[in-house]
Amino acid sequence: MVVWYAGFITLIGAITAIIIMMWIASQHRPKKQAKEIKKKIYGVRLWYILSLLSVFAILLIFTLSFLPYYQNQKKTPDLAVSVIGRMWDWQFSSSDNASNSIKRDSNGTIILPLHKTIEFQVTSKDVNHGFGIYHSDGHLLAQTQAMPGYINRLVYTFDEPGEYTVLCLEYCGLAHHMMHTRFKVE
Ligand SMILES: [Cu+2]
């Protein structure tokens, strides 16, 4: 929906710019009149900039109070998963009490629930890492930074069962390319 609105606004902006350019082209006059027209156009430009600035200022005032956005999400997560990145692997554990602990299959692979809102609480034990969740077809689904001394919250709902891969998205040393893990959703 947001993408649709952004596209619509861009289209309106482009059409407006074309109309203005066509109007300017139609105003071709001898040099004497050019000065006057220039003044007029600069006036229009000034009002255009001022109106844009006021729209942005209003949007800013109304949306700044929602930061950080994850705290304003109405859906409370069904499951909180703690993720710790360190050179060079990922550790998953349950952030909730023991009764809610993370399921694993017989091979020790983590199993996360389907259609449930999961909050990944991501941090790092050493340097900055990038926590990226990939679909089995190679698409990046969600990502956040894993930073020492700071917990980043990544909320995601898996609507497709299958195997997902976690890759490090921040170069973090010699074995950075080895820093990956997998989990299942079912
Ligand atoms: Cu890395």
pLDDT in tens, 108-152: 889 999 999 899 999 999 999 999 999 999 999 999 999 999 999
> What's the CA-to-centroid distance between 18 and ligand 1, angstroms?
46
Q: Is the pLDDT of residue 27 over 80?
A: no
Q: What is the pLDDT of residue 78?
A: 85
Give ion ligand 1 contacts, CB < 5 A.
Answer: 129, 168, 172, 176, 179
Distance between CA atoms of residues 115 and 119, nearest Å = 13
Retrieve residue 149's tokens: 């001394």
Res. 105 pLDDT band, cuts 50 70 90: confident
Same domain, 112 and 173: yes
Tracing tokens 């050019």 back to the chain, one arrives at 34
Q: Are residues 52 and 134 in the same domain?
A: no
Whether 26 is in a domain gets the answer yes
How many other β-carbons are positioned within 10 Å of the β-carbon of residue 16?
11
Say yes or no: 59 and 80 in one domain.
Answer: no
Domain enclosing residue 29, as ranges: 2-64
What is the 98 CA–ligand 1 centroid distance (Å)?
30
The answer to whether the predicted template modeling score (pTM) of the entire model surpasses 0.85 is no
- What's the token pair of residue 133? 């969740």
- Helix and strand numbers (H, E) in the chain are 2, 10
What is the 140 CA–ligand 1 centroid distance (Å)?
Answer: 16
Q: How many domains does the chain have?
A: 2
Do residues 123 and 168 share a domain? yes
> Given 3-state DSSP classes, what are the helix, strand and coil percentages for the chain, each rounded to the nearest 5?
35, 35, 30
* Pair (47, 79) in one structural domain: no
